[in-house]
Amino acid sequence: MDRLTNTIRPYAWGSTTAIAELTGAEPSGEPQAEMWMGAHPGAPSRTERGALNEVIDAAPERELGKAAAAKFGPRLPFLLKILAAGAPLSLQVHPDLAQAKEGYADEERRGVPVDAPHRNYKDANHKPELICALTPFDGLCGFRAPAETAALLEALEVDSLKPYVDLLRAQPEEAALREVLTAVLTADPEEMAETVTEVTAAARRLGGIYAPYAGIAHHYPGDPGVIAAMLLNHVQLQPGEALFLGAGIPHAYLNGLGVEIMANSDNVLRCGLTPKHVDVPELLRVVRFDATDPGVLRPEASETGEEVYETPIDEFRLSRLVLPEGAAPHDLTAPTPQILLCTAGSVRAGELSLTPGQSAFVPAGEKAEVSGPGTVFRATVVA
């Protein structure tokens, strides 16, 4: 079992206090958005044996287990994070596996540099993800029913929104959502900025269900993503609740601290709330234009004593254990690779003591006993 030393990413939307409060460190005064735990080459965790990606590269079957290496290849198929949003992230979607392979091959064929700002596909993998709240957590997830969005927009009494209201009421669901999102993202920038300004003023005046959108507009004044965000469900998670984001589902995180796990990919197509590249035609190819229930997940008790967040994919499996004081050690030994993350109390993992924010990598087949008192998240795969 290897203690991990992890990189904190200082993205501008990150909270300046949340990760420090979790770990008991002094705030740096700078945004701390994400702590990465895994073998992603962009910021691999470090162990006493070296960078985790290099450790796995040197002996993939030993570190990952034969089944996981055969199923996912010679790399850790997931990336675990602590995510701390102090401001809204970009409104975005992720491709499915076929779309990612096709998009990556196309950009490779056209010679688009992988680090080019207009590049959409950094790799040929999909990026399903799960976010589990550690604190109250606000986000946007999936399209709201068109009739509900029409009523929401109409109540703002902004004249320039009327064409969107009419489309949402007149067209079938898929066509209505596609046409309105397309119209918002391709509108004249100056005219859209004026609309967003009017919407912002109305949202501040009305408050209530409009407050999240007024908050988004505060961070992204004039951005068409403010209107696009109003097409989506607003979700408020309580600690322990989670959201699963599959391919094509538009989403954005607004505020809060959570544990996030995803397939090991960088593929993001943005819809707004960002100064970065927005490729509208490619975005429209990937988005699923159907109204969806956000589907808040609550952990389900398993025979092993873990609380499992069930998802329809195999690249990751996230579970939680709340370990009482004085209880017998809990055996997590498995034929798959694992990362253990403490989020509360003090957890004993093998010979290691983990406090909040600390984590360990457990190679496949290695003995892994944990005891408390504390809470530990366990990330592994289904192989």
Residue bearing tokens 């003090």 = 346
Report how far residue 314's alpha carbon sits from residue 278's, in angstroms, rounded to the nearest whole number. Answer: 30
DSSP H or E stretch at residue 79: strand 78-85
Burial class of residue 311, CB neighbours in 10 A (0-12, 13-18, 19+): buried
Of 58, 88, 42, which Cα lies nearest the Cα of 219? 88
Is there a contact between 259 and 134 (Cβ–Cβ < 8 Å)? yes
Residue bearing tokens 């991990």 = 4
Is there a contact between 93 and 25 (Cβ–Cβ < 8 Å)? no
Token code pair at residue 19: 């990760």
Give Cα 112 distance to the centre of its chain: 26
Whole-number Cα distances in Å, 161 to 215, 291, 327: 19, 20, 59
Token code pair at residue 261: 């796990």
Report how far residue 83's alpha carbon sits from residue 256's, in angstroms, rounded to the nearest whole number. Answer: 8
Whole-number Cα distances in Å, 65 to 73, 129, 331, 372: 11, 23, 18, 27
Report how far residue 11's alpha carbon sits from residue 31's, in angstroms, rounded to the nearest whole number. Answer: 6
Catalytic sites, residue numbers: 270
Over its C-alpha atoms, the chain yields an Rg (Å, rounded) of 22
Is there a contact between 36 and 43 (Cβ–Cβ < 8 Å)? yes
Is there a contact between 351 and 321 (Cβ–Cβ < 8 Å)? no
Token code pair at residue 5: 């030393």
Report how far residue 225's alpha carbon sits from residue 234's, in angstroms, rounded to the nearest whole number. Answer: 14
